[in-house]
Amino acid sequence: MFRRLKPDQMVECVCNVRLEELMERGICNIIIDLDNTLAPWGEDQIIPEVYQWVKAGHEMGFKFCIVSNSSPKRVRYFASRLGMLAAFKRWKPFSRAFKSALTQLNGNQRNTAVIGDQIFTDIFGGNRLNLYTILVEPISKKEFIGTRVMRFLEKTIIKRRKP
């Protein structure tokens, strides 16, 4: 159980994820969370650094698919602005959310990474399918009330499970 909650990598911001390093690992597909990973929760702006990182990824040949528990309208908006695929209404951490993204990306366990800000959805879901997982710090302190409750539990696990 705890093993599945441990990310392969931890970074401050998605824009600090080193794309060259992923490529060296053979990774060319990225399943990515939306709220507080790509954009602040409840806001529709895209931080320039994040935008640049995505652009660089596309130029290097990475394919992205957003997997989010957010509304389809919101997911569609970011997917179109960032040139990403998207999996809708597939609740994380259930495997079908990630499987739907893998199908769209034509990806597999060896060439796909998952990036997100939550251990119990993004990291747990990705690890269950043996994908390479990267935990980022949430962009904004503001978040869904249910998420805030989970943060208390996450903090305990991060302390115990530094990679």
Q: Which of the 8 DSSP states describes residue 123?
A: I
Q: Does 117 bind Mg ion (CB under 5 A)?
A: yes
Does 70 participate in binding Mg ion (rule CB under 5 A)?
A: no
Cβ atoms of 128 and 105 within 8 Å: the answer is no
We find the least distance from the C-beta atom of residue 24 to Mg ion, in angstroms, to be: 26
Two structure tokens written together for 47: 């931080």
Residue 75 or 129 having the CB closest to Mg ion: 75
Q: Does 143 bind Mg ion (CB under 5 A)?
A: no
Name the segment binding Mg ion (CB under 5 A); options: 59-67, 71-79, 116-124, 153-161. 116-124
- When asked if residue 35 is in the footprint of Mg ion (CB under 5 A), the reply is yes
Task: Choose which of 33, 67, 87, 124 interacts with Mg ion (CB under 5 A).
Answer: 33
How far is Cα 27 from Cα 114, in angstroms, rounded to an integer?
A: 10
**Backbone torsions φ then ψ of 115, nearest 5 degrees:** -120, 130
Count of residues binding Mg ion (CB under 5 A)?
Answer: 4
CA–CA gap between residue 85 and residue 100 (Å, rounded): 11
Q: Where are the beta strands (DSSP E) in 14-154?
A: 29-32, 63-67, 85-87, 112-116, 132-136
Minimum CB–partner distance for residue 61 and Mg ion (Å): 25
In 10 A of CB 20, how many CB atoms? 9
Instruction: Give min distance, CB of 59 to Mg ion, in A.
Output: 25
Among 49, 25, 19, 23, CA closest to 37:
49
Which residue lies nearer to Mg ion by CB, 28 or 117?
117
Closest distance of CB 35 from Mg ion, Å:
4
Question: Among 10-18, 35-43, 74-82, 155-163, which window interacts with Mg ion (CB under 5 A)?
Answer: 35-43
Q: Note the residues at the interface with Mg ion (CB under 5 A).
A: 33, 35-36, 117
